[in-house]
Amino acid sequence: MGDVVRPATLRDIPAITAIYAHHVRYGLASFEWEPPTEAEMARRMQALLGQQQRYPYVVAERDSGITGYAYVGPYRSRAGYCYAVEDSVYVKPGFQGCGLGKLLLSALLAESTQLGFRQMVAVIGDSRNQPSIALHQALGFHHAGVLKAVGFKGGQWLDVVLMQRALGEGSTVLPNPATAHSAQS
């Protein structure tokens, strides 16, 4: 049976926490140095699924359990960024390279467009992270820049690659102010 993408729930937190912990400990996609606890991961999820604004948060699941997860959150907190989101995609060790990232990111693109967001930004940890860069390129993201040596992890300086993709009408028309997404000032 193949993977099914569905909305994430708090019941998924143990699996999500384990997947993320692996990436924190052994990878460079996240610049966190210590894996967060299940309680912290639940707090983060609830913030994205909160009452004022609901952001897409999904998991990929197969018979063996959760194989990956992805979500979007605000790109920045200022009101003027209310139509832009930033994506995050994490795949369980042993399941990379089999299309899960594409499945998860495609779901985020569709749901974010449906919710009226206009731009998605990828903030990719380390310029050597070719699988993530290739995934985003395959789904229509374009290279927007590189921030050199802005992160430090594992005894090394790390770049951040910025990629961007328009959603829906993008910037071709002005948004309807009634559809403005909440943002902090």
- pLDDT tens per residue, range 137-179: 999 999 999 999 999 999 999 999 999 999 999 999 998 777 7
Q: Count of domains in the chain?
A: 1
Q: Does the residue 185 lie in any domain?
A: no
Q: How far apart are CA 85 and CA 141, in angstroms?
A: 13
**% of the chain at pLDDT higher than 90:** 88
Are 136 and 129 within 8 A, CB to CB?
no
Q: Does the residue 70 lie in any domain?
A: yes
Give whole-number Cα distances, 160 to 18, 97, 105, in Å.
Answer: 24, 22, 19
Q: What is the pLDDT of residue 112?
A: 96
Whether residue 93 has pLDDT greater than 70: yes
**% of the chain at pLDDT higher than 70:** 96
Whether residue 182 has pLDDT greater than 70: no
Residues 69-83 have a mean pLDDT of: 94
Q: What is the pLDDT of residue 21?
A: 98
Q: What is the pLDDT of residue 23?
A: 97
Domain CATH for 20: 3.40.630.30
Token output for 130 = 């070719």
Are 158 and 148 within 8 A, CB to CB?
no
CB proximity list for 90: less than 8 A, separation 6 or greater? 19, 20, 23, 29, 68, 69, 70
Residues 57-62 have a mean pLDDT of: 96
Q: Does the residue 9 lie in any domain?
A: yes
Domain limits for position 68: 4-179
Q: How far apart are CA 132 and CA 120, in angstroms?
A: 15
Q: Does the residue 19 lie in any domain?
A: yes
Q: Does the residue 184 lie in any domain?
A: no
Q: Does the residue 104 lie in any domain?
A: yes
Helix (H, G, I), strand (E, B) or coil at 66: strand
Q: Does the residue 32 lie in any domain?
A: yes
Q: How far apart are CA 96 and CA 155, in angstroms?
A: 25
Whether residue 1 has pLDDT greater than 60: no
∠ CA 11-13-19 to the nearest 5 degrees?
Answer: 135
Taking phi over 0 as left and psi of -120 to 50 as alpha, with beta for the rest, 131 belongs to alpha
Whether residue 184 has pLDDT greater than 60: no
Token output for 121 = 């930004």
